[in-house]
Amino acid sequence: MKKYLSLVTFAHTIFAMPFAFIGFFLAVTTTQYRFDWQKLVLMILCMIFARNSAMAFNRYLDRDIDAQNPRTKQRDIPAGRISAPAALTFTLVNCALFILATWFINPLCFYLSPVALFVVMGYSATKRFTALCHLVLGLGLSLAPIGAYLVVTGEFALTPLFFSFSVLCWVSGFDIIYALQDEDFDRGLKLHSIPAYMGKVNALRLSTFLHVLSALFIMMPVFFTHVGFLYYIGIAFFCAMLIYQHLLVKPNDLSRVNFAFMTTNGVASVVFAALFLLDRVWIR
């Protein structure tokens, strides 16, 4: 179990899962649908299964690339801790479990389940042909809030889309920062990424622009649903964390990229979601 948790870097669930809770409880508190423990558990399981599928497939597809990169050659498949066939089997099992879980939620979630898997798993191939791979990763994680909203309601709505757009820009922006570490490697292996295509300085500028958009989108729900003061505190904290990570990383100093990537963004996600949930309780 530890090997498979390492394979899928389970700790990184901290990025999307809090926004899934936001989508779920946004639906519970702004529609006629009531809280349902079964739907909450199924939503969590879907998040886990989808992410396991995406990460395991990424490690499987990139195993040869990871073996050549000094930064990633100690990952589980190149290091021999998990075999490639075992990683692929793990991927397929989680895909099946994801689709099965959506069957018990509602017809729309079930019908859209292959689309969701295509998006979150398709990211792994994109670095081979487009520098927009970071946006595809952001798109995959952005399915969390709108997907969780669909679990409750079975219907699309505007407000959860603002959270999805915010996640798309937020994740794309910090993935560009993370990819700065592999600029030379990607260029040498003819892999596509924003840093390899634009260079460090312009890549950081694009990341900043995406994070400005993320901040704007996370403010938009204020105009479409009733929020309390805790939500405004959450906005301020989330924006502060976006600014902070850009202060940590400079084109000529990447020593704190991992801290900016994992710690800063993880804290931003969890604290913002916690303040959102407390705000929903407060205003009710």
pLDDT score for 262 = 77
Query: In the predicted model, is pLDDT for residue 86 greater than 80?
Result: yes
- On the question of pLDDT at 7 being above 80, the answer is no
**DSSP codes joined into one string, 195-263:** HHHH-HHHHHHHHHHHHHHHHHHHHGGGGTS---HHHHHHHHHHHHHHHHHHHH-BTTB-TTHHIIIII
Mean per-residue pLDDT for 10-37? 89
Q: Is the pLDDT of residue 212 over 90?
A: yes
The whole-angstrom separation of Cα 274 and Cα 21 is 9
Confidence bin at 279 (pLDDT 50/70/90):
very high
What pLDDT is stored for residue 21 in this prediction? 97
The CATH code that applies to domain 2-283 is 1.10.357.140
pTM of this prediction?
0.94
pLDDT tens-digit readout, 47-76: 999 999 999 999 999 999 999 999 888 888
Q: How confident is the model at residue 161 (pLDDT cuts 50, 70, 90)?
A: very high
Q: What is the pLDDT of residue 241?
A: 95
* Domain boundaries along the sequence of the chain: 2-283
The whole-number pLDDT of residue 160 equals: 96
CA separation for the pair 145, 30 (Å, rounded): 14
Say what the pLDDT of residue 15 is: 82
What pLDDT is recorded for position 239? 97
Cβ(145)–Cβ(189) under 8 Å? no
Mean pLDDT, range 176-197, rounded to an integer: 94
Q: What pLDDT shows up at residue 13?
A: 73
pLDDT of 248 over the 70 cut: yes
Predicted local confidence at residue 275, as pLDDT: 96
Q: Give ∠ CA 183-187-191 in degrees, rounded to 5.
A: 100
pLDDT at position 12 over 80: no
- Per-residue confidence (pLDDT) for residue 273, from 0 to 100: 96
Q: Specify burial of residue 186 (Cβ count, 10 A radius: 0-12, 13-18, 19+).
A: buried
pLDDT beyond 70 at 3: no
- Reply yes or no on whether the pLDDT at 9 is more than 70: no
CB 141: neighbour CB atoms within 10 A?
Answer: 26
Question: Rounded CA gap, 178 and 138, in Å?
Answer: 13
Among candidates 196, 203, 77, which has minimal Cα distance to 127? 196
Q: What is the mean pLDDT of the chain?
A: 92
* Residues 100-152 pLDDT 10s: 999 999 999 999 999 999 999 999 999 999 999 999 999 999 999 999 999 99
Tally of CB atoms within 10 A around 33: 16
Give residue 51's pLDDT: 92
Angle between helices 107-126 and 133-153 (to 10 degrees): 170
